[in-house]
Structure 1
Amino acid sequence: MLKIIEVIQDANAKNCPLPALALALTLPDICSQIEYPNEKNVGYRYRNWYNNHVHKHEEFHCTLNTLNSYDKLNAIHEMETMLHKFNGYACYKLRCLLLHQGDAAMTGEIKYDNLYFNIHSGEETRTVSPTKQPDQPIEHLSINSKLLCDYLCTYAKKYYDEHPNKELFQKKILHG
């Protein structure tokens, strides 16, 4: 898994957002198989691992020190309300969308179930603006792929570092 993290970080550094994000979205798959070895439902494992190891630690990368106290409080409130929208459910849906539909997800906003994703690799943080529908809410999520990759790599590495049995992370690859 450490090699995968290294490759993701290299792809991000070389401004290759699609391969970096596609590979980063597999990290919760790897870690959740270790954390929940008897759970057969991949989505359940993935969502729970993300919520327990990434989502609870996320924070927006903005310079609050440059804001006055009123704007700082508003920015913190805005971040906190937006942050909870991108959770294990949304990350799992993004994983399914990107890994099963490829680079189609990188061309404008694309709907997957009740979520609209817009993936970008700019330096701005991702934002969320919910739109209410009569029957169910539709969420519009703008995803900063570099930031999401950083989160996934950071917390997958932390999970690896804290796990007592490193052998579980070693996958045997057959060379033909």
Structure 2
Amino acid sequence: MVDRIVKEINICLENDCYISALGMALTLPDICGKAKYPQWKKQNVGLRYKKWYDEYIGFREIPSGPHSEDFSYLSGEVVYSLRNCLLHQGTPNIDNNRITEKRCKMDYFILVINKDEHITSSEFALNHDGARSGCGMKVDLYSLCGKLTRAASDYYHSNKELFDFFSVSVNTIIQSHPRAAKFHCELCRFSFLSEIVKFSKLYSKTVLRIPISVGAFKIFCKTAFL
């Protein structure tokens, strides 16, 4: 199932369905966190999400160098807040009230969609008194989706035995093959005529006229089922 989710995220990105791609990508730490920490139940969903993310992705995001302690970064808290805001509110943003790490509280959080350059940047300014201000991040959506899908895929393929909670299969019910269309049309026709027979038997004294030609009926069936 993880492979299918990753595949569909990439399909969404290829077809400019960016919010759908991001929404699915942000669920991957949920899935992997459940596999990694099965002892943590529903009340600890946020904890296992952030812990798995920080262990497999977040540690690489921590800035280094001069003033690194002042730069915001994509921590587990930030990504989990983004996940909640997007999936529960439809807003691709973060909630500072849900973030405890001081440097990750931001004045702005901007998602950037750029097919050519995938750059995520953290910015801040220093006031004349040395206080930090105007801090925020510009996060490349492609880059974030890529980090989430690669880490989740690697973890899944290295720990498949932990994903035994997957108990659902996805099957395509109606195929677009001409034979399938013909089958459904015939099935529809049989069902439709059966109802006519039942109706005519119930009201035997009523003249029942169906103003529809065979050709029109076939067109109706194809439209209804394809």
Fold-level similarity (TM above 0.5)? yes
Contact 1:58 1:151 in 2 (8 A): no
What SS is found at the alignment partner of 2:150?
helix
Pair 1:169–1:156, CA change in 2 (3 A): farther
Work out which of the two has the higher radius of gyration on C-alpha atoms and give 1 or 2.
2
Contact 2:118 2:142 in 1 (8 A): no
Distance 1:137 1:96 in 2: 26
Paired residues for 1:120-135 under 5 Å: 120-122=112-114, 123-130=117-124
Once the two structures are overlaid, the 10-residue window that deviates more, 39-48 or 159-168, is 159-168
What SS is found at the alignment partner of 2:164?
helix
Matched positions, count: 152
Equivalent residue, structure 1, for 2:159: 163
After the TM superposition, list the runs of 4 or more consecutive aligned residues in structure 1 that deviate by more than 4 angstroms. 80-84, 136-139
Pair 1:27–1:119, CA change in 2 (3 A): same
Deviations 1:6-52 (A, max 9, x none): 00011112222111001000000000011111113111111110010
Superposition RMSD in Å: 3.3
Distance 2:75 2:160 in 1: 27
Normalization by structure 2: what TM-score?
0.57
Unmatched 5+ residue regions in structure 1? Answer: 60-75
Structure 2 counterpart of 1:34, which letter? Answer: A
Equivalent residue, structure 2, for 1:45: 48
Structure 2 counterpart of 1:33, which letter? Answer: K
Normalization by structure 1: what TM-score?
0.72
Question: Quick one: higher RCO (CA 8 Å, sep 6+), 1 or 2?
Answer: 1
Identity of aligned residues (%): 28
Equivalent residue, structure 2, for 1:24: 25
What SS is found at the alignment partner of 1:140?
strand
Equivalent residue, structure 2, for 1:172: 168
Structure 1 counterpart of 2:77, which letter? Answer: Y
Contact 1:94 1:117 in 2 (8 A): no
Distance 1:118 1:8 in 2: 21
What SS is found at the alignment partner of 1:165?
helix
Unmatched 5+ residue regions in structure 2? Answer: 97-104, 172-226
1:91 to 75, 79, 84: 79
